[in-house]
Amino acid sequence: MRFYGLALLASAAVLGACGGGEKPAADTTKAPPAAAAPAPAPATPAAGALAPIAATGPTVEVKMISDDKGYRFEPANITIKSGQAVKFVMRGGLVFRDELHPPAAASKQLTTEVLAQEMLTWDLEKKKDKTRYAALMAPEYIAITGRGVMDTAANLREIDALDVTEYSMTDVNVRRIGQNVALITYNVGWKGKYSGELLAEDDYAAAIWTRRENRWLDGYYQAFPHYLP
């Protein structure tokens, strides 16, 4: 939302009258000095908002690095004292920003390999083969679904509660988004049970796969249901 301020300009005109007779003697009395304008009142934060606090100490810089070794923070751990600020700086950007390897349509081989890996995760989830499923996950793996944000350990717990009986993938699209990095998007319809409750969903899904040491690893997965009018 944009706010437009309205500035009001006021001008004063001194009008002198011309008339007959003598001019009145000039008033030599000094006018008292003008009172200083009051200092503006500090801005009041909106209800529920916190007023910003200026940093009084040095700024700690944390690099957010994305390269062929994965995604990480450097330094991995920091200690912040009262009054210090934290500045996050992106470095690399292999997945989310890669100027040397712009997004491009995947080759037939890349599409075949990545699609096979993505289907394998569904098959292993259906079979509840958590050992082989975990072996496909990168150390930094994160999944975001309607049930929350999960790392590999949390995702494996989901497999215990989830029983997938069938699934089908349509509108599959694979794109190379970096060196040895591919994005797959698709629609998936699946049926099963979650904690004993029958479920049937049609989801939009996406995953990012990275090839490391001649192996494809899943670093990110996201899925949300279709919302129909």
**Residue 112 scores a pLDDT above 80:** yes
Single pTM value for the model: 0.54
Give the CA dihedral 179, 181, 185, 189, nearest 10 degrees: 160
pLDDT tens across 148-195, in order? Answer: 899 999 999 988 888 899 999 999 999 999 889 999 999 999 899 888
pLDDT tens across 74-100, in order? Answer: 888 888 777 777 776 656 544 344 444
Confidence of residue 71 (pLDDT cuts 50, 70, 90): low
pLDDT at 4: 30
CB-facing half-sphere around the CA of 168: CA atoms within 13 A: 3
Every domain of the chain and the residues it spans: 59-91, 104-225
**Which CATH number applies to 104-225?**
3.10.450.50
pLDDT tens across 122-152, in order? Answer: 999 999 999 999 999 999 999 998 878 999 9
pLDDT at 77: 84
Confidence of residue 59 (pLDDT cuts 50, 70, 90): confident
Give the CA dihedral 162, 168, 173, 177, nearest 10 degrees: 20
Q: Three-state SS string across the chain, please? A: CCCCCCCCCCCCCCCCCCCCCCCCCCCCCCCCCCCCCCCCCCCCCCCCCCCCCCCCCCEEEEEEEEECCEEEEECCCCCCCCCCEEEEEEECCCCCCCCCCCCEECCHHHHHHHHHHHHHHHHHHHHCCHHHHHHCEEEEEEEEECCEEECHHHHHHHHHHEEEEEEEEEEEEEEEEECCEEEEEEEEEEEEEECCEEEEEEEEEEEEEEEECCEEEEEEEEEEECCCC
pLDDT at 68: 59
